[in-house]
Chains A and B, each alone.
Chain A
Amino acid sequence: MNGTIQAPTIEYALLAPMLVVFGAAIAGVLVEAFAPRYLRSAIHLPLTLLSLAGAFALTVWQAVKGVPTKPAAMGAVAVDGPALFIWGAILVLAFVSVMLINDEDHFVAAAAAVPGSAEEEQALYEGAAHTEIYPLVLFAVGGMLLFPASNDLLVAFVALEVMSLPLYLLCGLARRRRLLSQEAAVKYFLLGAFSSAFFLYGTALLYGYAGSIDLAQINKALGAVGGQDTLLYIGAAMLGVGLLFKIGAAPFQAWKPDVYQGSPTPITALMASGTLVAAFGALLRVFWVGLGGLDWNWRPVLYAVAILTMVVGAVLAITQTDIKRMLAYSSIAHGGFLLVGVIATGTSAAQNTSALSGILFYLVAYGVTTVGAFAVVTMVRDAGGEAWHLSRWAGLGKRSPLLAGVFAFFLLAFAGIPLTSGFFGKYAVFQAAVTGGALPLVIVGVVASAVAAFFYVRVIVLMFFSDPAADGPTVVLPSRGTAAVVAFAALATVVLGVYPQPMLDLAHSAAHSLFVR
């Protein structure tokens, strides 16, 4: 100790996209505090969208300038190829989700009021609105950005919480079906808190094993430290539980249908796309960078988890009658398909690149289509809000062929029919898995796809081949934002399905550098 403290170096330029988002979030809080109520919404929207667009521009600039090969911020945050790609994806998905959120009809007027009480009536009458959703979303997005980029476990935990806490709140803000929404928020919060605790406990145990929370250091310690294997295994398993929970992999999938169903649909869209992307980024980084040397131990477990996830997602979806629950189970199944890609990682760099780029492509393809699908869900409404029950969708193809056609197209993309983006996503991970020697897993994957196709097709049957109910739901005229989201998602699903090469190149070049250590 010579009395001077070395100041940590922070590469502000590298972290700029996150800083912009967090900065805008804090500015949003200030708006909430100081701006008059009638102005808030008008300030929030441009602020949120501009910050996301700005962060995206900075990410692109970062990627063009050259991908750094060393972790930033004293090894705490790794801004590498995959991280930049994931950031770009999250920012785009968040941007389109915010355009859905913009329609305030989805959100409750006074969240604290007891459902059905006089206070709620009053708030509705006054036209109150929770404009806090914008800064909350920005905080969540900031967390999503940090989570896959965090290079040590403590930062990852902080990111996990920053991402999750606002989402817990947002889940409870649905305007209709209040009780369901509150239930979703409580469930998500309790289970999420559990999983965070698992993650934290795992971090502690791994620290006990390796003497460091830095992922690279942990990986170095594998094999070097002897006699502490119990700590290592339990720690790694707990970390895995925390991460798999966020993905919604079986057997930690139970929260997903409830939360997706109860949340305001635009928030569901954000969770189904952004959170999934972020969680997969983090999962890959932790298991790859931190526990890569342990893959003989975690690979069989993930193998089983992937199979279970695909099967549970595909089979349970068949019995669903709520469109959002069905999409939730579909999201679980897709999580399983993505896990196939995670298992496809191997020992050679080329194999890793192809697996990683496959996952990245899949995440983008699936994320965009999902947002589009939920955007359509917001538009099909009856007297009680969104027409959530599947039977209400009967004959939609006759009353509004265009919307039903677009939705059918999204469903076909989920089912992985060629000439849609979903096909190439699935193909990319399956091909990587076959090359990586996981052929049995791929066979389970295609069987699960066939089962999944059944319930997607069932919705198409309802929409197109059934006769409309007499008092069926009407399709509301979409707000400009919603229409733009649907159009964007449909376009992306077509383009990525017909000409995926540019996006594949991008994913490949992002994955090529692999994760920095």
Chain B
Amino acid sequence: MPWLSTLMGVSVLGALGVTLVRNDKLAKQFTLVVSLIVLALTVAMAVQFSPNGDKFQFAETYDWIPAFGVHYGVAVDGIALVLILLSVILVPIVVLASWHDAEKGKRSVRTYFSLLLVLEAMMIGVFAATDVFLFYVFFEAMLIPMYFMIGSYGGAQRSYAAVKFLLYSLFGGLLMLVAVIALYSIAGKGTFMFSDLVGTVQDVTTQKWLFLGFFIAFAIKAPLWPFHTWLPDAAAQAPAGAAVLLVGVLDKVGTYGMLRFCLELFPDAAKFFTPLVITLSVIGIVYGAIVAIGQTDMKRLIAYTSVSHFGFIAMGVFAMTTDAGAGATLYMVNHGFSTGALFLIAGFLIHRRGSQFISDYGGVQKVAPILAGTFLVAGLSSLSLPGLSTFVSEFMVLTGTYQRYVVPSVIAATGVILAAIYILWMYQRTMNGPTAESVKSLPDLNAREKWVVAPLIALLLVFGFYPKPLLDVIHPAVKDTLSSVSVTDPGAAVPVAKEGQ
């Protein structure tokens, strides 16, 4: 069964279907059903995945544009599979969470949900693409639905944020396009299939240029310091649901691309640039965390925490040890859930009070205990409390990096401490203390919102205590990736240091 095409096909047909439904309420329910069907299908596919089987499974390859050597080629390995799972789990949650988001501006509700489903298809496609050109097509095309979601349904500064988001990403994408074309013509294979292109570029200087073409695009997308400035604007202006998909999934395309394309296609260049990337990552970790502490706007704060977290992920990818690589991949998934939860709960709060500013809140815990409690759990997972899933991944990234790069990992570990400051301080200012006048009558989470938050909290807890199923899937894929970069883990003699907290 062509699983991956089915997934995308269902999403696209669902998107078309939504535009035909005349009633807004029905359209929402329809979207929810479609996204749940996609989720069910993905789970059905995932259980058939054999972690130690072929590298790429569920492969489908058809000629798309023979004139350019372009294929419609999709397949998943462990890394892609968990990221697709992340996407399809988040979509129904986002649908439920955005139930009333599109209504405020008297804009078409159906369009919003239709864009959401289009985006879902593209998110699956971008992770599943095994043809570099197809990957590029999805990479660029998925900007458009997100652009309209931010621009049409976002906050006051939405058009500025949407344009900034689009232009930054487009610019990176165009640089990547040059590298894609150059890769094709240098390889001279007449095909864009990833597996055929691996190892074709031997000249190190060429590799370096092509690496930069890809890497800058991914660094903008991820975003890595100093390419991050679009993210706080976009995430703060986007409706909460779109922000979750933007930060939780779209940005993962950047780190995923680094792992899949930068490392495997240009191994020598990747090694050459590793010190640079690690430096940028560490700067990003600390910088993002410090700037987050200073934010007055909750959504911007969460966006900056993501800049910090993406530093961890990129560092894990480029540390090139199995632990760090697997940790980084796991981090991509966990970050999606934890930041997703933070954005959504903050979104509920903002929706109630109508303000994004921390100073407008205070003592919410007394009037809305469930909201505050779940917010705390999501926040704690963001600061990597042991027992919550992000801890596992952050720990793996740090120990994995330590095996090769001691100083960066030690500096990066301070990010964990800073995380405690920005999260707990935000919690303290909004939820504790005397109840502010304006939030006295704040209602607690309603049933729909509980349904949104519950699965996320459950996932954070489950993977916090038992990450093995995910790691089992991720590990072979990461090993395979690193072996194609011909890196072996440094001698295990280095004792795994306890973390500095």
Q: Which residue of A lies closest to B106 (CB)?
A: A398
CA distance A415 to B177 in the complex (A): 14
Determine whether the beta carbon of A439 is less than 8 Å from that of B178: yes
Selected A-B contacts with CB under 8 Å, 29 pairs:
A357-B67, A398-B107, A412-B144, A415-B170, A417-B140, A417-B143, A418-B136, A418-B141, A419-B141, A423-B137, A424-B65, A427-B181, A430-B177, A431-B181, A434-B178, A446-B177, A447-B174, A449-B174, A450-B167, A450-B170, A454-B167, A457-B147, A457-B167, A460-B151, A461-B159, A465-B159, A466-B159, A501-B64, A504-B67
B45 sits at the interface (CB 8 A): no
Determine whether the beta carbon of B151 is less than 8 Å from that of A443: no
B436 sits at the interface (CB 8 A): no
Which residues of chain A are near B66, meaning CB under 8 Å?
501
Contact of A419 among B137, B175, B182 (CB under 8 A): B137
Which residues of chain A are near B144, meaning CB under 8 Å?
412, 417
How distant is B112 from chain A, measured CB to nearest CB, in Å?
A: 12
| Interfacial residues of chain B within 115-160, with CB under 8 A of chain A in the complex | 136-138, 140-141, 143-144, 147-148, 151-152, 158-159
Q: Which residue of A lies closest to B151 (CB)?
A: A465
A44 sits at the interface (CB 8 A): no
B163 sits at the interface (CB 8 A): yes
B108 sits at the interface (CB 8 A): yes
CA distance A505 to B66 in the complex (A): 9
Contact of B174 among A412, A450, A505 (CB under 8 A): A450
Main secondary structure of the interface of A (DSSP, over half): helix
A92 sits at the interface (CB 8 A): no
Q: Which residue of A lies closest to B183 (CB)?
A: A434
Contact of B163 among A418, A458, A466 (CB under 8 A): A458
Q: Which residue of A lies closest to B171 (CB)?
A: A450
CA distance A31 to B64 in the complex (A): 50
4 closest cross-chain pairs (CB), A and B: A446-B174, A465-B159, A418-B137, A504-B67
Which residues of chain A are near B167, meaning CB under 8 Å?
450, 453-454, 457
Determine whether the beta carbon of A461 is less than 8 Å from that of B181: no
Determine whether the beta carbon of A401 is less than 8 Å from that of B162: no
A508 sits at the interface (CB 8 A): yes
CA distance A424 to B136 in the complex (A): 12
CA distance A443 to B179 in the complex (A): 10
Q: Which residue of B lies closest to A354 (CB)?
A: B67
CA distance A398 to B67 in the complex (A): 40
Which residues of chain A are near B482, meaning CB under 8 Å?
none
Determine whether the beta carbon of B178 is less than 8 Å from that of A442: yes
CA distance A427 to B185 in the complex (A): 13
| Interfacial residues of chain B within 434-483, with CB under 8 A of chain A in the complex | none
CA distance A460 to B167 in the complex (A): 13
**B positions within 8 Å CB-CB of A:** 64-68, 107-108, 111, 136-138, 140-141, 143-144, 147-148, 151-152, 158-159, 162-163, 166-167, 170-171, 174-175, 177-178, 181-182, 184-185
Main secondary structure of the interface of B (DSSP, over half): helix
For B136, B170, B174, which residue has the most chain A Cβ atoms within 10 angstroms? B174
Contact of A464 among B67, B151, B178 (CB under 8 A): B151
Known contacts A442-B181, A461-B159, A461-B163; 17 additional CB pairs below 8 A are: A398-B107, A415-B170, A418-B137, A427-B181, A431-B184, A434-B178, A439-B178, A446-B175, A450-B167, A450-B174, A454-B163, A457-B167, A464-B148, A465-B158, A504-B67, A504-B68, A508-B67
A335 sits at the interface (CB 8 A): no
CA distance A447 to B66 in the complex (A): 28
A435 sits at the interface (CB 8 A): yes
Q: Which residue of A lies closest to B67 (CB)?
A: A504
Determine whether the beta carbon of B170 is less than 8 Å from that of A465: no
Q: Which residue of A lies closest to B150 (CB)?
A: A465
CA distance A500 to B68 in the complex (A): 10
Q: Which residue of A lies closest to B65 (CB)?
A: A501
Which residues of chain A are near B177, meaning CB under 8 Å?
427, 430, 446
Determine whether the beta carbon of B185 is less than 8 Å from that of A435: yes
Determine whether the beta carbon of B152 is less than 8 Å from that of A465: yes
Determine whether the beta carbon of A434 is less than 8 Å from that of B140: no
How distant is A442 from chain B, measured CB to nearest CB, in Å?
A: 6
Contact of A465 among B68, B162, B174 (CB under 8 A): B162
Contact of A417 among B141, B171, B181, B182 (CB under 8 A): B141
Which residues of chain B are near A446, meaning CB under 8 Å?
174-175, 177-178
